[in-house]
Amino acid sequence: MTSVRPDRSVLLEKLGVDIDSELLERALTHRSYAYEHGGIPNNERLEFLGDSILGQAVTVKLFRENPDLDEGDLAKRRASLVSSVALAEVARGIGLGEFLLLGRGEDQSGGRDKASILADTVEAIIGAAYIDAGGEAATALVLRLVEPLLGDPDRFGAAMDPKTSLQEAAAHRGAGLPHYTVTNTGPDHSKLFHATVEVAGLVVATGEGTSKKQAEMSAALSAWTQLTQRRARTPRG
């Protein structure tokens, strides 16, 4: 039985850029899907290109809009905006997960919400936009994608330093320090780390990444999001 693919015109509308259907398909193709379908092209080359365009666009924006920040602060902000944690947030905001082409095993293990896969796909889409629509359109796409983070100071701060933000949110609620547990899977040259963070009595969240730090950051941002959403839903007496 063949599953029905979602209408990609919906995704293109959210992105605000036209990308050739074949090129978009490649941008959405994870290596696990490519392997299961006879070694068809995957999105890794587009990801490589998109990573460069993303970095340049974010660097220029931060440089122009923050004349009072020194090189160190600019570098920190750039690192936060191009991190897998932040890009995964961007991807979730546009519902990118449902459009991914994943192998069965990756799909069944929750690949549609894995930060590393989502982030890589965002970069691949940026690369595809550059090839099909040009540098100006690709840069405009980057700025649209990161705008939700830049427009939300609290979320930007959390994406910049999720572990500190979570610790502060936990302390504000009278809870103890967040507790992290990290495991890993895969061969030494390609390990994937899985982190679980618990804020006693308040929230448990998970995250993953290609390093222990990245996995903990992803879990921390997820926990921070749950805590802040919970506070927003709590009625005032």
Q: Can you give the CATH number for the domain in which 221 is found?
A: 3.30.160.20
- The reply to whether 107 and 209 lie within a common domain is no
The answer to the question of residue 129 being in a domain is yes
pLDDT digits (tens, 9 = 90+) for 23-64: 999 999 999 999 999 999 999 999 999 999 999 999 999 999
Range of the domain at 225: 162-231
At 30 the pLDDT is 96
At 179 the pLDDT is 94
By C-alpha distance, which of 104, 149, 108, 141 is closest to 122?
141
- The reply to whether 17 and 93 lie within a common domain is yes
At 234 the pLDDT is 46
pLDDT band at 159 (very low <50, low <70, confident <90, very high): confident
Catalytic (active site) residue 106:
no
**Domain end: 151, 180, 198, which one?**
151
At 208 the pLDDT is 84
The answer to the question of residue 1 being in a domain is no
pLDDT at position 128 over 50 = yes
Set 25, 106, 123, 216: catalytic member: 123
The answer to the question of residue 183 being in a domain is yes
pLDDT digits (tens, 9 = 90+) for 7-25: 999 999 999 999 999 999 9
pLDDT at position 232 over 70 = no
pLDDT top residue among 110 and 235: 110
- b/e burial code for range 30-61 (CB count within 10 A of at least 16 → b): bbbbbebeeeeebbbebbebbbebbbebbbeb
- The reply to whether 167 and 86 lie within a common domain is no
25 annotated as a binding-site residue: no
> Quick one: what percent of the chain has pLDDT higher than 90?
54
pLDDT band at 230 (very low <50, low <70, confident <90, very high): low
Count of domains forming the chain: 2
**Domain end: 123, 151, 179, which one?**
151
* DSSP structure string for 25-88: HHHTB-HHHHHHTTS---SHHHHHHHHHHHHHHHHHHHHHH-TT--HHHHHHHHHHHTSHHHHH
Mean of pLDDT values over 66-85: 87
At 48 the pLDDT is 97
13 annotated as a binding-site residue: no
Catalytic (active site) residue 188:
no
- The reply to whether 129 and 218 lie within a common domain is no
106 annotated as a binding-site residue: no
